[in-house]
Amino acid sequence: YKRVSMKIKILKILREKKDYVSGEMLSKQLAISREAVWKNISLLKRYGYLIEAKKGKGYKLIAKSKLLLPWEIQDGLDTEFIGKKIIHKMSIDSTQDLAISIADKEEEGTVIIAEEQRRGRGRRGRVWHAPKGGIWFSLILKPEIEPWRVTLLPLAVGLAITDTIAMLGIKATLKWPNDVMINDRKVSGILLDMSSEQDKINYIVIGIGINANIDNPSRYAYNATSLKDELKRDIDRIDFMRRLLKNIEKRYMQLDDEQLLEDYKKRCITLNKRVKVRSFDEEYDADAVNIDRDGSLIVVLDDNSIRRVFAGDVSIR
């Protein structure tokens, strides 16, 4: 991390000065060669910072990067453990696959984020298109809860996403169990992978995809929207990510709290609707009547029998 810390030191100086800073001054202050200064400035430019270089004057920071860089997200991040370590990739097959491969040895709260995913995946093996401009990340969690209560986690994360979208002045709703909607169009999806024993969870990796600054997202997925489409402007993805990680941590700490389910039910558009349930081996229509304390959906069939749905597809009729 030596190179990372040096470029961050240079960035800090450029930010504080708000004017031209000579290469000589940077070299003296940081005890590095002029060539090392130039190399780090070049690196910052590659990371999307707009830095002007003027002969005889030095370097001046004109605009910050818009990329989801760890040190930008962490600057002002007010969490206990989520996002304390962030791994950033410009492009990756899947943040979820990388997170699963390192989850055993990583600390709880580690985030893997990418500017784009080449092979993003949704639930049940579907393809998830993740172009530049969105927010695509995976979060490693190690909750001390019984494996049967794991259905609560996507609910908690979904709530946190709606909490954060509300800060932009938009009302988002939840479609059980993993979709975040704005005006009945999907803006975000959640994926969960778990490693567990009989009565203990080793780790959970939550994958989160948010259509943030994406034009016309319905090109990629049927019935999709984006925050940009809704607001008619780009959002500050760094600020959004900072707030989201804080909200996820807050909701994650509520897993044992009845308030979590109460809040979820208020925002859930699946409840009190006629639904079609597709599980791995059958399909049936039913009325969605409640969400149980483990996060499962309670439905009533036409013969008045009651079932609890844990997984599978539930579409509103």
Looking at CATH, the fold of the domain delimited by 2-63 is given as: Arc Repressor Mutant, subunit A (1.10.10)
- The per-residue pLDDT for 128 is 64
Residue where the block lists tokens 């940081």: 30
Work out the average pLDDT over 29-33. 96
Considering the segment(s) 274-316 as one domain, its CATH architecture is Roll (2.30)
pLDDT exceeds cutoff 50 at 303: yes
Comparing 180 with 3, the larger pLDDT belongs to 180
Work out the average pLDDT over 66-89. 96
Work out the average pLDDT over 238-261. 96
Burial class of residue 73 in the structure, from the number of CB atoms within 10 Å of its CB (0-12 exposed, 13-18 middle, 19+ buried): buried
Q: What CATH number should be reported for the domain whose range is 70-267? A: 3.30.930.10
Of 180, 169, 161, nearest to 243 by C-alpha is: 161
Q: Which helix (H) or strand (E) holds 72?
A: helix 70-74
Q: What is the pLDDT of residues 5-25, one digit of tens each?
A: 899 999 999 999 989 999 999
- The per-residue pLDDT for 217 is 79
Q: Which range among 17-26, 158-167, 277-286, 300-309 shows the weakest confidence by mean pLDDT?
A: 277-286
Comparing 126 with 247, the larger pLDDT belongs to 247
Q: Where are the domains of the chain?
A: 2-63, 70-267, 274-316
**Helices 34-46 + 23-30 axis angle, to 10:** 100
